[in-house]
Structure 1
Amino acid sequence: MPSFSHDPSSPKDTADVVIVGIAARGLAAAARRAGLRALVLDLFGDDDTREFAVAAIPLRRTGAFAIDPDDLLEQLAIHAGPDVPVVLGTGFEHAPEVVEELARRFRLVGNGRPTLAWLKEPMMLERLLHNLGVPHPRIFAERAPGGVTTLEKRIGGSGGWHVRPAEEARGRGWYLQERLEGRTVSALFLGDRRQARLLAFSEQWCAPCEDAPYRYGGAAGPIRLDPEIEASIGAALDRLVGAAGIAGLASADLLLLDEGWSLIEVNPRPGASLDVFDHAPLPPLLRLHFEACEGRLPELALLTPEAAGTVRGAAIFYAPSSFEMRLDPLPEWVADRPPQGTRIEAGEPICTLFAAGRDVSEVRDVLARRQDQLWHDLSMASRKAAE
């Protein structure tokens, strides 16, 4: 475990933790709050990511938003020693073999290939949930029975880009999940490979576009659910952590139905909810991640809106059309700040917007107004620079 209080005489550019992900600003900010110096490797190299890190190393991408594993291993070999802990963010659920190689060569803090296989191989997850008595949608490898509406998903996909209504899976690497209607929420929890500690619930929403009707939009919390539902979810996560060996921070995507609830997906890593919950009164979440991976869970009650004092939200802002980043400075409620001159294509994520309010509805209203304001300012600045 890294030291969370430093010798003032130690070199300022020495990293205590290596953070890797498609976009790692949230984890870099969490490291700063936990008192850690982070070396960050991601695809974007946003300005605020660089501010949080002792160094930020750009990674080569394959496809739209995928990390080139060969480049990652090469950069880690150059910049990260074998004794510095490595924490993974998004980008590895579809590549358990890469996670296995990282665990072999570096000090990986989090979930390895066996846990990823249980949680990200759809047929294995369905069998596990069935055996544990955890409610979940049905999974189909190729085609669903008549009368069952389904969504096609990519194995190990994240961010909702890959999800669409379909009657038949397109082939290898894809599957169908029964489509259920309900309220989408997420449970943030810790695991110590034996039991779970439920930390908070948030509400999620989509930012649909023509090619991706279930594209992730944002989240806000904390929220409270029916006490019986909360207890049922907590007990189910206990069983799931013990069976799959989940360690550290993780989240479970859930649907609240007219009667009961259903578990849609488990993300066995720190994720987007850091932006919502890595604030007082909760202690630094990355510190809790390290402690849980060492087998220690905190004595924390479920976070309530009353205890938090406010509801916080974070939303992804996708570009309505192509433009060049020329607005400087950006508002203080903007994170994941692209460097000046960055070309952003239509539909790509521009940044993350923050807001706070009395409830989820108020937070979403503020986020919507800020998105409109920011797009106006970005468009004006881009046009002015082109004149």
Structure 2
Amino acid sequence: MNPLQKRCLILGASTRAAAQSALYAGYHPVCADLFADTDLCTIAERLPLQNYPDNLVEQATSISPISWMYTGALENSPEIIQAISKHHVLWGNNAEVVQAVRNPQKLYQVLKKHDLTALHLREFNHPPPANSRWMLKPKRSAGGREVTVWNREAESYYAESHNKDKLSTDYYFQQRAEGKNYSALYLASATQTVLIGLSAQLVGCHWLNADNFTWCGNVAPVLFSHQPEKHQKLAIQAEKAGNVIAKEFGLRGLFGIDFILETPFLPSSFPQLFPLEVNPRYVASVELFERAFDVSLLKWHIAACESFEQSQQEEFVTTENYSANFSAKAIQGKAILYANCTFTFPLTIERMPNCADIPSYGRLIQKNEPICTVFATGKTIESCQKDLQERSDEIYDALKIKE
């Protein structure tokens, strides 16, 4: 550890990406997560964790108070966020803000209040017709897991006596929109919210062994250079949604919104962005934008979350955080490889280039669990995704588990 570096605590299901962002911002990361991958252990100080997330509070409060932040899935445990924030200074949104913005009904009401596109909702005890036009989703969602189309098959499954209790207040119905999955990355300060950029989401990719609605990566930034009018209109929609949501819920720092870009019925119609949910934290696409723009977004996240003088606020909103001033060096992509069977992780993959989140040798990987992450660059989204698929195939071949 560099003695000049300040320590910061990072907690979540996976912390490797945020740890690298912390290093880039000049901090020494102290991490605890679900996977404890080998490359995380080489760049960060790791807290021992026997049971995620149950003993996160115990481990986090065992060290001296420092600044801390959380990554994916921990927004589903606001009680943990609240408990740890009593001991450490939080860089991010507190438990109260998280509970509000992650409430589907409250989000829907805010969107409708400001005349923004919004998908209709129904509570679990008022199911819609099982006609495949609705989605059944968990309120504590994580990466698209447990999301399903509400059709006759799903209705029959939950009608069975031993499954009836599964459909509870933990679930809700959301109107289904046909289209492509995108996410937007924002940075919210006390005075304004800036759209950093849009990314295309990889969802349910068969070449990554992902289930239908499982998130399995991003490609960023999305630039419709061949359709400037489309890019401008989509950016305006995304900017308005981000500004409204940040202001209404009091969001601070980096956060993301997942969207569906609806496929229009008529070729002449312009597609609409429909917000699906808000991720009020450091999101997976941050490291891609940092690579693309060669800028430390975590520095701006910290500045937005900490108390600072008005002069610094003015600098914050007039310099490199404007997405219009960003010039992407190349399209950046990441893909999460999932296991199609249970297997023991070998040593060979550690030598694979452009790979991260690498499990320890001999670790048992269960079917449908993430294996690792691959990265690629390209001049276009299509070429970047093609490179991701080729590199993923190489790793599956090396592991000898590709169907």
Q: Deviations over 1:265-290 (max 9, x none)?
A: 11010011023112253421211110
- Give the corresponding residue for 1:81: 64
**SS of aligned partner of 2:199:** strand
Conserved in 2, the CA contact under 8 Å of 1:327 and 1:378? no
Superposed displacement of residue 307, structure 1 = 2.0
Superposed displacement of residue 91, structure 1 = 2.2
Q: Deviations over 1:3-55 (max 9, x none)?
A: xxx9x6x377xx520000111100011111111101011111111111111x1
Superposed displacement of residue 125, structure 1 = 1.4
**SS of aligned partner of 1:266:** strand
Query: What is the 5 A alignment of 1:62-81?
Result: 67-69=52-54, 71-78=55-62, 80-81=63-64
Residue among 242, 249, 253 paired with 1:248: 253
Superposed displacement of residue 324, structure 1 = 1.4
Conserved in 1, the CA contact under 8 Å of 2:340 and 2:368? yes
**SS of aligned partner of 2:400:** helix
Q: Is 1:151 aligned with 2:98?
A: no
Q: Structure 1 33/336 Cα, relative in aligned 2: closer, same or farther at 3 Å?
A: same
**SS of aligned partner of 2:47:** strand
Q: Is 1:135 aligned with 2:117?
A: yes
Q: Percent identity?
A: 26
- Give the corresponding residue for 1:308: 328
Residue among 327, 331, 344 paired with 2:347: 327
**Partners of 1:184 and 1:270 in 2: CA distance:** 19
Q: Deviations over 1:122-153 (max 9, x none)?
A: 11211122223221211111234446721111
**SS of aligned partner of 1:93:** helix
Q: Is 1:22 aligned with 2:13?
A: yes
Q: Is 1:60 aligned with 2:42?
A: no
**Partners of 1:193 and 1:152 in 2: CA distance:** 35
Instruction: Give TM-score scaled by structure 1 length.
Output: 0.87
5+ residue gaps, structure 2: 159-166, 225-229, 265-270, 308-312
Residue among 21, 40, 60 paired with 1:49: 40
Query: What is the 5 A alignment of 1:162-177?
Result: 162-166=146-150, 170-177=167-174
**Partners of 2:111 and 2:364 in 1: CA distance:** 44
Q: Deviations over 1:289-317 (max 9, x none)?
A: 1011136444333269x921210100000
**Partners of 1:110 and 1:24 in 2: CA distance:** 15
- Give the corresponding residue for 1:268: 280
**Partners of 2:247 and 2:190 in 1: CA distance:** 5
The count of corresponding residues between Structure 1 and Structure 2 is 361
Superposed displacement of residue 105, structure 1 = 2.6
Residue among 347, 359, 363 paired with 1:342: 363
Letter in 1 for 2:133: T
Letter in 2 for 1:247: R
Superposed displacement of residue 121, structure 1 = 1.2
Query: What is the 5 A alignment of 1:112-261?
Result: 112-142=94-124, 143-146=126-129, 149-166=133-150, 170-207=167-204, 212-225=211-224, 226=230, 227-257=232-262, 258=264, 259-261=271-273
**SS of aligned partner of 1:102:** helix
**Partners of 1:253 and 1:11 in 2: CA distance:** 37
Letter in 2 for 1:357: G
Residue among 34, 39, 49 paired with 2:25: 34
Conserved in 2, the CA contact under 8 Å of 1:44 and 1:58? no
Superposed displacement of residue 159, structure 1 = 0.6
**Partners of 2:216 and 2:377 in 1: CA distance:** 16
**Partners of 1:281 and 1:155 in 2: CA distance:** 34
Instruction: Give TM-score scaled by structure 2 length.
Output: 0.84
Conserved in 1, the CA contact under 8 Å of 2:210 and 2:338? no
Residue among 100, 109, 112 paired with 2:91: 109
Deviates more, 1:94-103 or 1:154-163: 94-103
**Partners of 1:23 and 1:60 in 2: CA distance:** 15
**Partners of 1:96 and 1:196 in 2: CA distance:** 23
Deviates more, 1:275-284 or 1:37-46: 275-284
Q: Deviations over 1:362-381 (max 9, x none)?
A: 1111111111111111229x
**SS of aligned partner of 1:346:** coil
5+ residue gaps, structure 1: 1-5, 62-66, 381-387
Letter in 2 for 1:128: V
Q: Is 1:289 aligned with 2:310?
A: no
**Partners of 2:194 and 2:372 in 1: CA distance:** 31
Letter in 1 for 2:339: A
Superposed displacement of residue 208, structure 1 = 5.2
Superposed displacement of residue 340, structure 1 = 0.9
Q: Structure 1 48/148 Cα, relative in aligned 2: closer, same or farther at 3 Å?
A: closer
Q: Is 1:357 aligned with 2:378?
A: yes
**Partners of 2:107 and 2:240 in 1: CA distance:** 17
**Partners of 2:118 and 2:18 in 1: CA distance:** 29
**Partners of 1:145 and 1:77 in 2: CA distance:** 45
Q: Deviations over 1:329-369 (max 9, x none)?
A: 33121100111111112211000010111111111111111
Conserved in 2, the CA contact under 8 Å of 1:353 and 1:371? yes
Conserved in 1, the CA contact under 8 Å of 2:292 and 2:330? no
Q: Structure 1 208/367 Cα, relative in aligned 2: closer, same or farther at 3 Å?
A: closer
